[in-house]
Every structure is written in structure tokens, then in C-alpha cells.
Amino acid sequence: MGMKKFAEEILAMVAARNPAEPEFLQAVHEVLESIEPVIEKRPEIAKLKIVERIVEPERQVMFRVPWVNDAGEVQVNRGFRVQFNSALGPYKGGLRFHPSVNLGIIKFLGFEQVFKNALTGTPIGGGKGGSDFDPKGKSDMEVMRFCQSFMNELFRHIGPDTDVPAGDIGVGAREIGFLFGQYKKLTNTFNGVLTGKGIGYGGSLVRKEATGYGLVYFTTRMLEARKTDWKNKTVVISGSGNVAIYAVEKAQSLGAKVVALSDSNGYIYDPDGIKLDTVKRIKEVERGRIKEYIADHPKAEYHEGCKGIWTIPCDVALPCATQNELDGKDAEILVRNKCIAVAEGANMPSTPEAVKVFLDAGVSFGPAKAANAGGVATSALEMSQNSMRMSWPFEEVDMRLRQIMDGIYKQCDQAAEAYGAKGNLVIGANIAGFLRVADAMLAQGLV
Ligand code: NDP
């Protein structure tokens, strides 16, 4: 029925309208491919142009962020907030501070966020933001001045019932604290406008751990489907930031042996298993580089270049650094080394070629939208607690996180089977997420 043509036409339109945004096109392409059978079954989706509407952000804001560095020099960065879709709730999604940030990167992340948030079953829409500011090597005071200037513009676009940002690469507890302080000063309100706040002023227990823990909970279901578990599995995890650290913590607690971590300069290999206390000290306290691990553990190796991490033989690989960090060649090496499961902690870390290699080889593959949704799900729990002016104990939030991850796995698995792609969690996640958003948009009319 020419469904291929339908997807191709929309993709061509998106490409023409959004030049020089390859990551955004990559994300749209994957979703369009997956939902072809849905379009066939549900003619009202094409008729009411749901797909054409869903690829167009509801609103995008770009702004100047001027600030002064410690040397007294004026610096100018660019700020972004893309409010992608509010069919299911207030826009929700992180802020990324990294020199590679541009509009296309924020749009790819915002687009993915829409479907991810839908999968969590919590009432949140999708958005994303950030800046090309590089927090690396900046003093606390420089970071504070930058965050204050960033919020001087952002505050007028966000709110606890409008748009609720959180952290992402380069934005952790310190940055959220400075952003929250400035929002409070500008609006004279203390509310749940940001998530990932400190526990002492409205943050939720488990939010810090949530993406990494959730990733491991999701992967547990993938392993179960293969009739196995984490015990004695050799695991490679890329990155060494928030997501990676708490993925290590949970995987180790379930009996896995995590042997490698990385940052953008290189990777460490510790055949005895990564000592997480050392990593937490270096990364969370000293804001240092992963190679410093070797000073404490001389039996471990450090290798320059982060790509080499995928050559380490492992049973399970969890890419937790950044987009397109694992390509087709890396995937082939992992398959040759008998890797049985890959789950994405980062957003879109596997290139389309890599995903194809994994699926063709029968490797269990957990796509980011589903596998890393634990962070935003727990942010939604933080919003609930803020609205109630209550805070739940660690065990309660952790239990809810686990239930949400189990629910996401089930939805993806069932949607894949219902649409003739049993076991393909990429198709399952895209269809299940898309349907939830599409149905809400259909119900709400042309807005
Ligand atoms: P952090 O800033 O805490 O850590 C990022 C890690 O990835 C660092 O080790 C960093 O190394 C590495 N990294 C970043 N960019 C690159 C690059 N271009 N090449 C190689 N390594 C790189 O971020 P998070 O842990 O929060 O985020 C990691 C990933 O997880 C991102 O894709 C993010 O979108 C995704 N994610 C995060 C969630 C969260 O709750 N925080 C939720 C869902 C997804 P270096 O220090 O050298 O830059």
C-alpha cells in the first residue's frame, strides 16, 4: 500500500525543513521506519497528519547567554529549549551543557524524549534544552554565573505545570542547584520547576541513581527472556558520568563483573572488576579524569581513545556516554566476542548500522527510549512528591522505578509481538510510545 512511500515522503520533508541536523534526521528515520505497520492499521493517523505534526516541535527557543569568567572577560554562549510535545503533560526533559550542543542535537534529544516519556506511563510531555557551554575546567563561580545568566532567559518559558527541565550531560546536582536558586529569585516562587534537585530542598531519593538503576532493571528483563541473569556476567560500560556510575553500582550488586569505563579521552580496563568507590571519588568529588583510576589500582590498564572500549570481550555492553559512540564495526567486534545483550544508557549511542548488526545477530537489544527511561520516570515521581509537598522513602521510589521499568519492557515486548516483530524492542518501543502520544493528539484536536 505504498507505506514505504509515506515514510519516505515525510522524511524528505523533514530533511528539507531541517537542514544540517543529521542527528535529528537519524532519530526521526528510526521512528518512521518502525511505525509503518501502525499507519497501515490506523488510517486516521495519516488523515489527521499526526506524523507530520509530531516531527514539528510545538515551540523552540534560542537565546544569548552572556556571562563573565574569573579573568573578568565577557563570554557569550547560546541557550536552547525545545518544547516538543505536550499531548501527555508538561514538557519534560533534561538540559545538556556540552560544546557539541546545537539545535539539531537538542531536537534529536527532544524528539526521542516524547516517546520515552510516553512509555513511562507518567503524565509528562517531551522537551529538551541546553547550551554549548563547556563546564569542564570552569570554577564553581563561573558555572554559577553561567547558570544564572541561562536562567535569566529560561525562567519565562518554564514552570511546574508548563515545562520542567532536569539534568543531562554536564548538568548535575551543582548546576541544578544554581539554576533553581536563580529561578526562585526571579519568580519569588519555590516549586517543582526543575527535577534532580538536592535532597535537602525538594529533590527525590533515587533520582541520582535512577537512570543507571533503571537501565539495569530493564536489562534484567532482557536477560530473563534469554533464561539468564547478571551473575558472573562480564560487563563493559562506557562513560563514567551519572548514568554509567549507577549502572555499575546496580549491576555489581546483582553479581555482575564490570571491567571497563571510559570518558572522552580514553578507557580503563580492570580485569578484577571496577572499584566503584575510586570512580565516585574521582568523578563526583574531584571532577577528575578516568585515567586517574590507575594511580589507585596499578593492575588496571588505561588506554587512550574511548572507542577501544568495545574491543574488550564481554557478555553485556551498556553504552552510557553519548550519541553515536558505538558504530557498525564496534558492533561486529562485540558480536564476534559473544556479547549477548546490549542496552542503551545514553541517548542514541548506537548508530543505525550497529543496531542492525545486533538485531541480525540475535543479540538482545534494549533501545534508549525504553532502557534509559528510568531517569525521567523518577523525575516524574519527584514532580508528584513536590506537588504533594511530601517525600517518599528510598525503598518506595526504588520500588516504583522498578515497576515502571518492568512495565516499559512489557509494553515494548507486547507491541513488537502484536505488530509482527517479536523480540524486536526497537520496533516495540517506537510503536508503543508513538501510539500513546498519537491517541492523545487525536483526542485533543488540531493544536
Ligand atoms: P555526565 O555528564 O554525567 O557524563 C557523561 C559521560 O559521557 C562522561 O564520562 C563523558 O566524558 C562521556 N562523554 C560525553 N560526551 C562524550 C563524547 N563526545 N565522547 C565520549 N565520551 C563522552 O552525563 P550523563 O551520565 O547524565 O549522560 C550520559 C548519557 O546518558 C547521555 O547520552 C544522556 O543524554 C543520557 N541520559 C542521561 C540521563 C540522566 O538522568 N542523567 C537520563 C537518560 C539518558 P567526559 O567527561 O570526557 O566528557
pLDDT in tens, 378-403: 999 999 999 999 999 999 999 999 99
How many Å apart are CA 383 and CA 56, to the nearest integer? 26
Cα 9 to middle of ligand 1, angstroms: 34
DSSP code for 271: T
Nearest residue (CA) to ligand 1, atom 30: 346
Instruction: Please indicate, yes or no, if residue 321 is contained in any of the structural domains.
Output: yes
Quote the number of domains for the chain. 3
Instruction: Please indicate, yes or no, if residue 197 is contained in any of the structural domains.
Output: no
How many Å apart are CA 304 and CA 85, to the nearest integer? 40
Q: Are residues 152 and 185 in the same domain?
A: yes
Mean pLDDT of 184-195: 98
Strands 126-131 and 91-97, by their bridges, are parallel
Cα 96 to middle of ligand 1, angstroms: 9
- Measured from the Cα of 245, ligand 1's closest atom is 25
Is 124 buried (19+), middle (13-18) or exposed (0-12) by CB count in 10 A?
buried
Read off the pLDDT of residues 73-115 as tens digits, 9 standing for 90 and up.
Answer: 999 999 999 999 999 999 999 999 999 999 999 999 999 999 9
Cα 345 to middle of ligand 1, angstroms: 9
Confirm whether 128 is a catalytic residue. yes
How many Å apart are CA 77 and CA 242, to the nearest integer? 24
How many Å apart are CA 55 and CA 301, to the nearest integer? 45
Q: What percent of the chain is predicted at pLDDT more than 90?
A: 98
Confidence of residue 4 (pLDDT cuts 50, 70, 90): confident
Q: Are residues 177 and 219 in the same domain?
A: no
Q: Which of the residues 92, 128, 138, 257 is marked catalytic?
A: 128
Which of 344, 381, 351, 371 lies closest to 433 in space, CA to CA?
371
- Measured from the Cα of 167, ligand 1's closest atom is 41
Q: How far is CA 120 from the centre of its chain?
A: 13
Confidence of residue 204 (pLDDT cuts 50, 70, 90): very high
Q: How far is CA 161 from the centre of its chain?
A: 22
Q: Note the pLDDT of residue 5.
A: 85
How many Å apart are CA 259 and CA 268, to the nearest integer? 8
- Measured from the Cα of 373, ligand 1's closest atom is 43
The reported pTM is 0.98
Q: Are residues 287 and 357 in the same domain?
A: yes
- Measured from the Cα of 98, ligand 1's closest atom is 15
Cα 41 to middle of ligand 1, angstroms: 38
265 pLDDT more than 90: yes
Q: Are residues 229 and 323 in the same domain?
A: yes
Q: Are residues 222 and 352 in the same domain?
A: yes
Instruction: Please indicate, yes or no, if residue 81 is contained in any of the structural domains.
Output: yes
* Residue at a domain's end among 18, 35, 54: 54
* CATH number, residue 90: 3.40.50.10860
Q: Which three cell numbers stand for residue 218?
A: 530493564
Q: Note the pLDDT of residue 400.
A: 98
Q: Are residues 40 and 149 in the same domain?
A: no
Q: Are residues 172 and 283 in the same domain?
A: no
Q: Note the pLDDT of residue 3.
A: 54
Cα 116 to middle of ligand 1, angstroms: 18
2 pLDDT more than 80: no
- Measured from the Cα of 166, ligand 1's closest atom is 40
Q: How far is CA 116 from CA 59, 290, 414, in A?
A: 19, 30, 16
Nearest residue (CA) to ligand 1, atom 15: 322
Contacts of 297 (CB under 8 A, 6+ apart): 270, 272, 275, 278
If one residue of 322, 325, 327 were mutated to test the ligand 1 pocket, choosing by the most ligand atoms within 8 A of its CB, it would be 322
How many Å apart are CA 35 and CA 418, to the nearest integer? 12
If one residue of 132, 169, 284, 285 were mutated to test the ligand 1 pocket, choosing by the most ligand atoms within 8 A of its CB, it would be 169
Cα 414 to middle of ligand 1, angstroms: 30
* Residue at a domain's end among 366, 390, 423: 366
207 pLDDT more than 90: yes
355 and 198 Cβ atoms separated by less than 8 Å = no
Contacts of 260 (CB under 8 A, 6+ apart): 236, 237, 238, 267, 268, 269, 270, 274, 309, 312, 314
Per the rule left: phi > 0, alpha: psi between -120 and 50, beta: everything else, 202 is left
Expressed in angstroms, the distance from the first to the final Cα of the chain is 29
Instruction: Please indicate, yes or no, if residue 446 is contained in any of the structural domains.
Output: no
Instruction: Please indicate, yes or no, if residue 419 is contained in any of the structural domains.
Output: no
Angle between helix 173-187 and helix 140-154 axes, rounded to 10 deg: 50
Count Cβ neighbours within 10 Å for each residue of 291-315 and write b for 16 or more, e otherwise. Answer: bbbeeeeeebebbeebbebbbbebb
Q: What percent of the chain is predicted at pLDDT more than 70?
A: 99
Task: Find the residues whose C-beta lies inside 6 A of ligand 1.
Answer: 167-170, 172, 211, 239-244, 263-265, 306, 320-322, 325, 345-347, 372, 375
Q: Are residues 96 and 137 in the same domain?
A: yes
* CATH number, residue 214: 3.40.50.720
If one residue of 128, 132, 208, 243 were mutated to test the ligand 1 pocket, choosing by the most ligand atoms within 8 A of its CB, it would be 243
Range of the domain at 101: 59-189
Instruction: Please indicate, yes or no, if residue 202 is contained in any of the structural domains.
Output: no
How many Å apart are CA 212 and CA 286, to the nearest integer? 21
How many Å apart are CA 212 and CA 187, to the nearest integer? 33
Q: How far is CA 384 from the centre of its chain?
A: 21
- Side chain identity at residue 80, one-letter code: F
Cα 323 to middle of ligand 1, angstroms: 9
What value does the CA radius of gyration of the chain take, rounded to a whole number of Å?
21
Instruction: Express the helix, strand and coil content of the chain in percent, nearest 5 each.
Output: 55, 15, 30
Nearest residue (CA) to ligand 1, atom 7: 321
Q: Are residues 175 and 270 in the same domain?
A: no
287 and 206 Cβ atoms separated by less than 8 Å = no
Q: Are residues 228 and 356 in the same domain?
A: yes
Instruction: Please indicate, yes or no, if residue 218 is contained in any of the structural domains.
Output: yes
Consecutive H or E run containing 114: helix 103-120
Coil, strand, or helix at residue 131? strand
Q: Are residues 16 and 122 in the same domain?
A: no
Instruction: Please indicate, yes or no, if residue 399 is contained in any of the structural domains.
Output: no
Q: Are residues 86 and 63 in the same domain?
A: yes
How many Å apart are CA 299 and CA 271, to the nearest integer? 8
* Residue at a domain's end among 138, 157, 189: 189
Helices of type H across 318-351? 328-336
Q: Note the pLDDT of residue 180.
A: 98
Read off the pLDDT of residues 113-160 as tens digits, 9 standing for 90 and up.
Answer: 999 999 999 999 999 999 999 999 999 999 999 999 999 999 999 999
